[in-house]
Structure 1
Amino acid sequence: MSPSRSPAVELTVPGPDGERTVRVSNPDKVYFPALGITKREVVDYYLSVAEPLLRAIGDRPTTLKRFVDGVDGEPFYQKRVPKGAPDWVRTATITFPSGRTADEVCPTEPAVLAWAANLGTLDFHPWPVRSADPDHPDELRIDLDPQPGTDFADAVAVAGVLRDVLTDAGLVGWPKTSGGRGVHVTVPIRPEWTFTEVRRAVITIGRRVVAELPDRATLEWWKESRGERVFLDYNQACRDRTVASAWSVRGRPKATVSTPVTWDELPEVDPDQFNLRTVPGLLAERGDPHAQLGEHAGGLEKVLGDWAEADAANGLGDLPYPPDYPKMPGEPKRVQPSRAKSPTS
Structure 2
Amino acid sequence: MKQVRRVAPKAVEEAAGQVKNKSSVIAGISLSHPERILFKEQGVTKRDLAVYMEQASGHMLPYLKDRLVSLVRCPQGRAKQCFFQRHGSAGMPQQFHRLDVHQKKGGEGEYLYIRDTAGLVAAAQIGVLELHIWGSRVDDIERPNRLVFDLDPDPTVGFEKVREAAVHMHDVLEAHGLASFPLLTGGKGIHVVCPLVRRYRWPTVKAFAKALAEHMVEDDPGRYVATMSKAKRKGRIFIDYFRNERGASAIAPFSPRARKGAPLAWPVDWDELGSIDAADVFRLGGSDPQAVSAWESYGSRQGLKAATLRALDIEAD
**TM surpasses 0.5:** yes
Change (3 A) 1:110 1:41: same
Q: How does 1:182-331 map to 2 (within 5 A)?
A: 182-270=189-277, 271-280=279-288, 283-285=289-291, 287-308=292-313
Q: 1:158 corresponds to which residue?
A: 165
Determine the C-alpha separation between the residues in 2 that align with 1:192 and 1:109: 27
Q: 1:308 to 1:218 in 2, by over 3 A?
A: farther
Of residues 77, 92, 99 in structure 2, which corresponds to 1:92?
99
Aligned equivalents of 1:57, 1:297: Cα separation in 2: 19
User: What is the rounded CA distance, in whole Å, between the counterparts of 2:128 and 2:305 in structure 1?
Assistant: 34
What is the alpha-carbon distance in structure 2 between the residues aligned to residue 198 and residue 262 of structure 1?
24
The total of aligned residue pairs comes to 293
Q: CA deviation at 1:132?
A: 0.6
Tell whether the 8 Å contact from 1:155 to 1:182 is kept in structure 2 after alignment. Answer: yes
Q: Structure 1-normalised TM-score?
A: 0.80
Mark the CA change 1:34 to 1:10 in structure 2 (over 3 Å): closer, same or farther: closer
Gaps (5+ residues) in structure 2?
Answer: 1-21
Aligned residues of 2:24 and 2:34 also touching (Cα < 8 A)? no
Distance in 1 of aligned mates of 2:74 and 2:313? 41
Residue by residue over 1:136-187, the C-alpha shift from the partner in whole angstroms, topping out at 9 and shown as x without a partner, is 1111111110013113222111111111110111111111101011000111
Secondary structure of residue in 1 paired with 2:203: helix
Q: Is the 8 A contact 1:52 1:291 kept in 2?
A: no
Between 97-106 and 27-36, report the one with greater CA deviation: 97-106
C-alpha separation in 1, matches of 2:54 and 2:193 = 23
**1:40 partner letter:** R
Unaligned runs of 5+ in 1: 1-7, 14-20, 313-345
Question: Equivalent pairs: percent with the same residue?
Answer: 27
SS of the residue aligned with 2:216? Answer: helix
* Cα distance in 1 for residues equivalent to 2:261 and 2:307: 41
**How far, CA to CA, are the matches of 1:148 and 1:191 in structure 2?**
36
Distance 1:303 1:155 in 2: 27
Shift in Å, 1:260: 0.2
**3-state SS of the aligned residue for 2:173?**
helix
The DSSP-based 3-state class of the residue aligned with 1:143 is strand
Match status 1:129 vs 2:143: no
Shift of 1:86: 4.7
**What is the DSSP-based 3-state SS (H/G/I as helix, E as strand, rest coil) of the residue aligned with 1:52?**
helix
Match of 2:85 among 73, 78, 83: 78
* Other structure's SS at 1:305 match: helix
Structure having the higher Rg: 1
Q: TM-score, normalised by structure 2?
A: 0.86
Aligned residue in 1 for 2:17 = none
SS at match of 1:77: strand
